[in-house]
Structure 1
Amino acid sequence: MNTPAAAPALERLPVLEDQAARLLVAARRQGSLAERLPIELRPANLDEGFAIQRKVGDQLGWQAGAWKCALPPAGKLIAAPIYDAVIHRGAQCRIRAVRGQSCVRAEPELACLLARDLPPRSAAYGEAEVLDALGNVHLALELLGSRYAHPESLTFPELLADGLFNAGLVIGPRVQLREGATPADLPGEFTVSLTRAGHDTVSFAGRHPDRSVLAPIVWLVNFLRVRGLGLHAGQAVITGSYAGVLELPTGSELQIGFGDLGTLPIHFLS
């Protein structure tokens, strides 16, 4: 008996998702912080949060040059695009200054680049097939930020709609893998260090949250696959921080060490 009433509600969902996305897009374009979405526009579950996230990309008109992902904990979904417009290469990174902040919040990660496409299809992708599609690995920093003024008070679907705190990506030097090695052979643990001229080097015991970069990428490929999405050659995938969140000062030349894998030089300019 409730079916006729449910149909109009379902028809309204795309309209509400468009409206929610417009608010988040405006915050991105203006560099402002939005208050919480109006209650009628808030995603009620993970599917709605991801749908708004996709609408944000469509409305921005930006291409996804990378994805962030992780094996999802219960009740969560760790998948979000990183747009070409906020991907930085090289030792200098110009960022938009945020009032009251003199540091950049970033996570040290490894970025796996796709050597060939992994398009949507009916059959699931296995580890060997995904591994065969991966190419070079680079040292990377995920830049963090939110379009919400008070993200700590929001539900996870609301955070998912906004891209899970992603504000950009720095792709640094290529990792020189030993002969015959693949991304599956990357170490799950190494020392992460932060060096700033005139200051002592700070070191952290780095550890990948899922112990390997491969499993999260396989999960992401299959998550996207069933939604008619895929990964494309040249895109990068990051899979989790090796040392949590680092507070990196602007205006200083920094060296981020990734154990024996190499060093990422970076200088943030406002």
Structure 2
Amino acid sequence: MDRIAAIADAFIAARAAGTALDAFPLSQPETLDEAYRIQDREVDEIGAALPGWKIAGVRPDLRAALGAERVAGPITRLVDARRADGAVEVPVVAGGFAAAEAEFVLLLGRDLPPRAEGYAAEDLAAAVAAVHIGAEIAGSPLATLNDLGPTAVVSDHGNNAAIVIGPAIGDWRARPLESLTSRVAIDGATIGEGDAARVAGGPLAAFAFLVANLARRGRGLRAGDWISTGATTGVHVITPGSVATFDFGAAGAFEVRIVAQPRGA
């Protein structure tokens, strides 16, 4: 087995078993190209069950060296909070990394196969069937993954444990980004506030990045895919037993309870 496959398989196995990792498997990739090769093996393992993709920003001080302002990863679990009676549960690996992020999530209404010439901005906007309030629960079996930086994050499923979907925003095309507000509280204490303008260029700019990123990897998007466009209030570390509340004002709110993933599950 080559190194790329060994790293991917180590993360796949740890996630499946709910077992924390003590260190990055073998050695961390130095480039995003290599990290995406690891991720592509993980995505192929998910296969047709892949519900969509998440996007995250790269710290400004790392962008020049890595040649990227954003990174992408697969959604490993989709949780629907729209009809929940109380908090929905998201499992994370005990002893690993977990964080809560308020995000805006796009639902695609048409296929976007990869093509060399790309897509015009208006075509991408037209492909969005709906925008929902949502959250990413970031998660990895490696507690230090986020500290190790973007190549580590990309290498482990984009550091995703789940995307949680809330209600759709009915008039999103007509609203200024600053009016799409978000607030995160953990165990009742507010720890972050923001809006859709906190995503560089807005959610549609994040979406355009994803389409180009996937095309370079020979991948496209399908009608029905969900796209989580990036944190609007920051990345807030959370642990099993805590409850995160995501409040988007008039657009709605929901709660997520973080639980420890059973070993061997």
Which of the five TM-score ranges fits, normalised by the shorter chain?
Answer: 0.7 to 0.9
2:32 corresponds to 1:37: no
Query: 1:151 is matched with which residue?
Result: 145
- Other structure's SS at 2:35 match: helix
Query: 1:224 is matched with which residue?
Result: 214
Render the CA deviation track for 1:117-140: whole Å, top value 9, x for unaligned: 000122211101111111111110
Alignment of 1:11-22 (within 5 A): 15-22=2-9
CA radius of gyration, larger in: 1
Paired residues in the alignment total 246
Render the CA deviation track for 1:11-51: whole Å, top value 9, x for unaligned: xxx82211111101011101112222113xx3231111001
- Residue identity (%): 29
For 2:204, the aligned partner's letter is L
Cα distance in 2 for partners of 1:119, 1:131 equals: 15
- Other structure's SS at 2:24 match: coil
2:16 corresponds to 1:25: no
Q: TM-score, normalised by structure 1?
A: 0.78
**Contact 2:52–2:74 at 8 Å: present in 1 too?**
yes
**Could you list the runs of 5+ residues in structure 1 that have no partner in the other structure?**
1-13
For 1:93, the aligned partner's letter is V
Alignment of 1:121-140 (within 5 A): 121-140=115-134
Change (3 A) 1:70 1:127: farther
**Contact 1:120–1:228 at 8 Å: present in 2 too?**
yes
Cα distance in 1 for partners of 2:247, 2:194 equals: 12
CA RMSD of aligned residues (A): 3.0
Moved over 6 A (4+): 200-203, 248-254
**Could you list the runs of 5+ residues in structure 2 that have no partner in the other structure?**
260-265
For 1:239, the aligned partner's letter is T
Q: TM-score, normalised by structure 2?
A: 0.79
Alignment of 1:1-270 (within 5 A): 15-34=2-21, 35-39=23-27, 42-61=28-47, 63-70=49-56, 73-74=63-64, 75=66, 76=68, 77-83=70-76, 86-90=77-81, 91=84, 92-96=87-91, 98-99=93-94, 105-152=99-146, 154-177=148-171, 182=173, 185=175, 187-188=177-178, 190-194=180-184, 204-206=193-195, 207-246=197-236, 255-260=245-250, 262-268=251-257, 270=259
